[in-house]
Homo-oligomer: A and B are copies of this chain.
Amino acid sequence: MNLKITNCLTALLLAGVFCFAQSDNNVVEDFKPSPVNQPGREYPMVNSEGRVRVQISAPNANSVQLDIGAVKYDLVKDENGVWTGESAPQDEGFHYYQLNIDGASVPDPGSLFFYGASRWGSGIEVPAHDQDFYALKNVPHGQVREHIYFSETNQSTRRCFIYTPPGYDKNLTKRYPVLYLQHGGGENETGWSAQGKAGLIMDNLIAEGGAKPFIIVMANGNWRMPRPPAGERPSGPWPPSGWADGFMKSLLNEIIPMVDTNYRTIADQNNRAMAGLSMGGMQTRVITLANPDVFSQVGMFSGGSISLEDVEKSPGFKKNVKLLFISYGSRELENPRRGPWGDPKENTEALKADGMNTHFYVSPNTAHEWQSWRRSLYQFAQLVFQN
């Protein structure tokens, strides 16, 4: 409260009446440009409470709103036709948002753009107390490579991004384990390296000796569903053997062989991991349960869990899988809903009691959002390929 008063007094001296308008809302006036603004842009800004303040010139508009976290906040117009306003405090980390101008939902031209919610749109970064682990530092950096390939399964040209660790191009005889890391629903192959900061998380961990260097493959998991054979009506439920089949087939038959051919991988089960967030976690669940001879390390971030019953139905899973990592944002667990796979913590503890190497991680004070998944990757990366 002292901070707010001090700031208000400073603002009063600087801005006169403006301070009174803002002080009614108890907004702390220490806004700074978001770290993911476009070059040279002052707005959007974020304050120490995590409030997001946007500003846009729209002199002829009737109404402008900030649309973030499923809430629309009204902006206020000044005498120059510039609209300004802010949100309630947001969680630490990355959030998608947009502006609404007289009913049109549009990206904020001040922010960088990210793919999520099935669109390229604005993103904001609320500085986090633990942001050091994904900060851009003067350490050796790996590379993120755009890898274009033709998929016979999908009959289309597709793209994945591949992280190769620092030093990959120096020692040309060294081979590396591989993590297949999947995005969530409404996202694509760009998510993990852009808003997920996977490359920076790994660079920093490797620099301090906190993780074994490994390759990360970030493929597009949005996959055309299988179709009934031409001219035939499906007998029984369709798709016949699960919604993840399209991506599973492509991953097993195309992507993994392509990666093992083109990169210096250690091409065995012991050195192959799969993880994903949300939909990607659910894909990880289906694919690794069906293929415990292919993957030895499994991570599911906000994407369900694996139960004793699941393991009993998957021959080889218990014996072959050396790491099972399940995580959630704490806010996802505040109103626990037992999904089709049961309570994630109970499931994971039951498997641990049964002798599996399982880990359950909860990201503090975050929801179903990227800060949970950055932290999950940070935790998972320190555990994977250690056995």
Contact = CB atoms under 8 A, between A and B. Distances in A.
A145 B148 contact: no
Nearest to A63: B60
A102 B103 contact: no
A108 B107 CA distance: 8
Interface in A43-99: 56-64, 81, 98-99
Nearest to A38: B120
Contact of A58 (B40, B101, B145, B147): B101
Nearest to A81: B103
A226 interface: no
A144 interface: yes
B146 A143 contact: yes
B107 A107 contact: yes
What is the oligomeric copy number?
2
Contacts of A148: 136, 141, 143, 199
Given A136-B157, A141-B149, A106 B103 contact: no
Contacts of A199: 146, 148
Interface residues of A, number: 51
Contact of A101 (B102, B119, B137, B170): B102
A201 B170 CA distance: 28
A131 interface: no
Contacts of A193: 146
Contacts of A157: 136-138
A132 interface: no
A127 interface: no
Contacts of A172: 172
Contacts of A112: 120
Interface of A: 38-40, 56-64, 81, 98-99, 101-109, 112-113, 118-121, 136-138, 141, 143-150, 157, 169-170, 172, 188, 193, 199, 262-263
